[in-house]
Amino acid sequence: MSIIDAYADRLLETYSAYPRGRFVSLLLLRQVESEAIFRTEGSGEPLNKEFVFGGERPGQAELIQRVVISKRKQTAVERRMGRELLREQELLFPVGKDGRPCSLNTNNPCARCVDCMVYGYAAGGGGAQRSRVITDDAFSLHPAPTVVGTRQFNALFDNSTMRNPETGDPSTSIGTDEYVRPETLFFDIETLKDVTPDELRYVLGNVLRARRYGAISSRIGKVRNHLIGLAFSSCELFSNLEWVQNSYERLRGAAREPDFPLHISTVAAESRAAADQLRARVVGRVEWLSDDELRALAEEIGALYADPAALAALLARLSASYPRARA
């Protein structure tokens, strides 16, 4: 039996417009596999960073600066991954009299496709769906000085120099960018609220398939998302900051900070132990998947997305499950 089907009673059978208090938390380690730039907007802007305590206990609670991947910069990538599939299956519906397709950041949601119903939308002319994928800023395990480097960039003319061959004017395309080093790890929990089994499959596929984040993602920004835990609960769990601080304490030992880089298996083991400890702070029901179930789930999602017919059937079934799609 499918792992998701085995836990179907922890999910909603069908979409509901009213909150039901059923949560699924995806515990992710986002591993940078090339240089990456996580900033707000524009070339030359600094990386997003925040001063926070390194650990939680008083003896290990010195202030450090951590790199941050903002919440929207994470889900925007994953959302576009899902929309590619919906577009391929012609499941992004036309909007208005001119029949423009549903699209992001244009105030033109169709208000009935899978993306709109899972990740939310707000139409200027009325109507809204709150996102059922709840996110927060992801924090780097190591301090910013350890994982951040700088790189100078320039743009050469056709004559391979920095001067315009026609006018002799120097190029203005030169500067310095901060970047995040490969092997940097970010801690993130994505929380899904009141989703159905098919919606869980859809979001998991988007997360596990997304591979490029941040600025200049056509050339850098390669990231692998490791799903190292999944919990069904009656409320949200602990925060990303609590989780990274507790894990940092476990990994640092007698040193002032953990070695860099650390193997993903080492961090995954300690971060799972940290999650087990932090579970005591949660006021509500929490049920974790076992390691074997987690591996089986990843294989299940991989097999689903490798089968075009099964994937098309999932998307069609999910698209037809919403009230507006049936209208």
Domain assignment present for residue 116? The answer is yes
* Burial degree of 103 (CB within 10 A; 0-12, 13-18, 19+): middle
Domain assignment present for residue 163? The answer is no
Task: Please tell me the total count of domains within the chain.
Answer: 1
For the chain, the residue count is 327
pTM of the predicted structure, to 2 decimals: 0.90
pLDDT of residue 273: 97
Between 161 and 55, the more confident residue is: 55
Average pLDDT over residues 40-52: 78
**Token couple for 286:** 């929490």
CA distance 154 to 235: 49
CA distance 5 to 11: 9
pLDDT digit string (tens) for 261-318?
999 999 999 999 999 999 999 999 999 999 999 999 999 999 999 999 999 999 999 9
pLDDT digit string (tens) for 83-121?
999 999 999 988 877 778 888 877 788 888 999 999 998
Domain assignment present for residue 316? The answer is yes
Domain assignment present for residue 33? The answer is yes
- Coil, helix or strand at residue 103: strand
pLDDT class for 128, splitting at 50, 70, 90? confident
Domain assignment present for residue 166? The answer is no
Question: Residues near 229 by Cβ (< 8 Å), separated by ≥ 6?
Answer: 25, 26, 27, 271, 272, 275, 288, 289, 294
CA distance 212 to 280: 34
pLDDT digit string (tens) for 199-219?
999 999 999 999 999 887 778
CA distance 163 to 229: 53
Residue where the block lists tokens 């496709």? 113
pLDDT of residue 315: 97
pLDDT of 327 strictly over 50: no
Domain assignment present for residue 167? The answer is no
Which of 2-11, 249-258, 290-299, 313-322 is the least confident region?
249-258
**Token couple for 105:** 């950041």
Kind and range of the H or E run holding 316: helix 308-319
DSSP class per residue in 198-216: HHHHHHHHHHHH--B-STT
Q: Which domain holds residue 201?
A: 3-143+181-326
Domain assignment present for residue 174? The answer is no
Neighbours of 87 (CB within 10 A): 16
CA-to-CA dists, residue 251 to 159, 245, 279, 299, angstroms: 51, 10, 19, 29
Domain assignment present for residue 159? The answer is no
